[in-house]
Amino acid sequence: MPEDILTTVMAFIYTIGHWLGEKIVELIQSISGVAIPVTIVDAIGLLVILTIFLAIAEVAKKAIWVIVAVGWVLIVLRIAILIIG
């Protein structure tokens, strides 16, 4: 059962990557007129997926640091209020 789920997920990712690769290759070919070999379509698509994941992770990393900083400020304020009052 777990192998079936993993196979399905990997097939889905590959399909999306292949589709993205085809679209990017079509875009490059229409802009530049250069014939790009079909053999690198999958590589381009999977690199696009990896780039998207990295961008999402970078945004999430920044958001987490903001949340942590706000948390520390609130903790320090709480301690200061306890000390003062």
Q: Which single residue is written with the structure tokens 């889905």?
A: 12
Q: State which residues of the chain have pLDDT below 70.
A: 1-2
DSSP line for 11-57: HHHHHHHHHHHHHHHHHHHHHH-PPPPGGGHHHHHHHHHHHHHHHHH
pTM for the whole structure: 0.71
| Digit-coded pLDDT (tens) for 43-59 | 999 999 999 999 999 99
